[in-house]
Amino acid sequence: MIDTEALRQKYSPEGSPLRDLQLLLLNEVMLLDGICKENGLSYFLTGGSALGAVRHQGFIPWDDDMDIALFEDDYKKLVRILLETNSDTFVLHCRKTDFNYTFGFPKYRAKEGDLLGCFPPRGKLYKYKGYGIDVFCVSKHSYARAWLCAKMRAALLNGMYRIKNERLRRLVTKVNWGIYDVLQPLTLPLDLLRKKDEMHYDLGRGTPYHDMRYSEVFPVKYVPFENVELPVPGNADAFLSRIFGNYMELPSEEQIMKDVHSKELITQ
């Protein structure tokens, strides 16, 4: 049996920098939860956040971020709402709000703050650097198409930070996004390889290795997460098993320190 309380005392005790960050993220996800409920949108915790909800009934004790996902129609609605929301605290960090942000998925991020941990070199150029929640779109595509589009986006855009001149970097980034937007539809025939009910993070968004099934995700269900309840895939066991294998087995100390984003926040 997993002793989550002992793990929290080791990695993120109350009052520690990591625990304080987790509580900020919890407040932020509750804000998103309210927006989704108000607008009839269905979202769910994904990745390590879903794993934490099921295995630890909250954050993985050494985790320093949150991941949510929505099916494509609800995702587009949420993105539109967040882009239109005038907030003094948070911003949807994406290609529309910061040309230096070249990830395939947006992050609902605090406007103020400093990037922590092993952020990519391009992060130094970001307009916004506060803590935040990754917002993923999921859609029905084949693994082959999701993999190819992720590789194309990375090849075209991940290296933009190396261009020192800002005007030139802006121009090349815009051109390369345009090239990606043209090439992406040409990969449509690869969806003929899609298995029944197969889903992935949408094209260019996140790792294609997270293999999902629509019927295992929807309808979502609410489960305890810290002192609130948050949605996870309806068949969370099947969902987590596809992504993590034996997800109830704790990683080694070495693996934990390898995977953690912000080692400076870990209390040991």
| CB-based contact 68:105 (threshold 8 Å) | no
Distances (CA, A) of 33 to 18, 37, 228, 259: 22, 6, 11, 27
Residue 243 belongs to domain spanning: 4-139+210-260
Mind listing the pLDDT tens digit for each residue in 5-16? Answer: 999 999 999 999
Output the pLDDT for position 141.
95
Task: Output the pTM of the full model.
Answer: 0.94
Going by the DSSP 8-state scheme, the letter that residue 68 receives in this structure is E
Residue 179 lies in a domain: no
Closest by CA position to 54, among listed 2, 16, 126: 2
- 13, 17, 22, 25: CA torsion to nearest 10: 160
- CATH number of the domain that 245 lies in? 3.30.460
Q: Does 17 map to a domain?
A: yes
- Examine residue 193 and state whether it is found in any structural domain, yes or no: no
pLDDT in tens, 137-188: 999 999 999 999 999 999 999 999 999 999 999 999 999 999 999 999 999 9
- Structural domains in the chain (count): 1
Residue 55 maps to a domain: yes
